Amino acid sequence: MHGANPHGELGNPGFGGIKLFAGSSHPQLAQEIAAHLGLKLSGRDSLRFPNENIFWRLHESVRGQDVFLIQTMSSPVSDNIMELLIAIDCLRRDSASRITVVMPYMAYARSDKKDQPRVPITARLMADMIVTAGADRYITVDLHAGQIQGFFSIPGDEITGFHILSDYFAEKNLRDAVIVTADLGFAKRGRNFAAKLHHPMAFVEKRRVGNTAQSEALTVIGDVDGCDVIIVDDEISTGGSITNTVQAVKNHGARDVYVSATHAVLVGPAIERLRDLPIKEIVTTNTLPATPERMLPNLKYLSVGPLLGEVISRVHLGRSVGEMFNE
Ligand code: R5P
């Protein structure tokens, strides 16, 4: 760990000592981050009153401290968002000198534009609420679209699961593999994957039906016949896109099919759908908790804990984050 003082604490005179707090959403990831930093999570009470109101109380003062608050937006989504906002307010009112929200998965990120009449832009609302509550910075992983960074009026670091996922596939040394993306919005990130692994790319054209979660895969653009395929996407939610994409590449002669996605949202019929598909391996990260009901024998979670820990350390010490990725 960089910049630790003789007491094993990170020190940054600009914002005080570092303190880590975690909401209720993902205790395991919070522990992994803390372990990477060689720190303990600070104590707090997080209570639900009988009327469902949430209450936070810190076990120690954060006055003048550089606080990192870890909370992902997993199920129950609204509760976890509300807890995040309340925790920020609590830290602000206890005079933290800086509050950085660490939200590995940002909910509502798909609601990022008015793509039909009379709809909200909830991703913007989320950013506004986080800033209004009192956050000074944010750290997140693979936003649905990079432009969402612009919804925040505070500085942030959007890091990517790309290196963790692509390193995993690089070790497999697949021959004759093709990187396939089912989302043209993801084409650039798909291309990075293809370039790193030295594989060609193909696309599955997808149309989403209105504002429903349904999508229909149409055509495969590129050649997958006789090749292994790695389908890359930012998230698997209901599994609809993956189902269509797997079927499309299989219909076009794909051999073994792998899936790589940063966020395993896995809601509704997702697990049943994935279980029934001819997929050799689904590789994801633990930006969302790997609960027992969200496990499958061919579903592998890779930890983003060390990566987030390192980013937190660098933000605290005022060191470059891009440097980690040779940027
Ligand atoms: C869509 O724009 C995203 O890249 C994912 O393909 C989508 O969020 C996955 O959702 P689902 O699993 O419900 O099809």
**Residue-wise over 176-191: b if at least 16 C-beta within 10 A, else e?**
ebbbbbbbeebeebbe
Which tens digits make up the pLDDT trace of 254-288?
999 999 999 999 999 999 999 999 999 999 999 99
Q: Residue 210 pLDDT more than 60?
A: no
Percentage of residues of the chain with pLDDT beyond 70: 93
Q: How far apart are CA 301 and CA 239, in angstroms?
A: 16
Over residues 18-45, the mean pLDDT reads 98
Confidence of residue 189 (pLDDT cuts 50, 70, 90): confident
Pocket test for ligand 1, best of 112, 237, 273, 288 (most atoms within 8 A of CB): 237
Query: For this structure, is 206 an active site residue?
Result: yes
Q: Which of 19, 113, 172, 206 is catalytic?
A: 206
Name which CATH class applies to 162-302: alpha beta
Which atom of ligand 1 approaches the CA of 240 most closely? 14
249 token code pair: 């590449």
| pTM (two decimals) | 0.93
Nearest to 242 by CA among 255, 259, 229, 221: 259
CATH 3.40.50.2020 fits domain 11-160+305-325: yes
Binding-site residues, ligand 1, Cβ < 6 A: 182-183, 185-186, 213, 215, 233-242
For the chain, what are the domain ranges?
11-160+305-325, 162-302
Question: What single letter denotes the amino acid at residue 22?
Answer: A
Q: How far is the CA of 231 from the centre of ligand 1 (A)?
A: 12
Which tens digits make up the pLDDT trace of 222-240?
999 999 999 999 999 999 9
Q: Residue 129 pLDDT more than 60?
A: yes
The dihedral of CA 159, 163, 164, 169: what is its sign? positive
Domain 11-160+305-325 shares a fold with domain 162-302: yes
Q: How far is the CA of 244 from the centre of ligand 1 (A)?
A: 11
Q: Residue 14 pLDDT more than 60?
A: yes
How big is the chain, counted in residues?
327
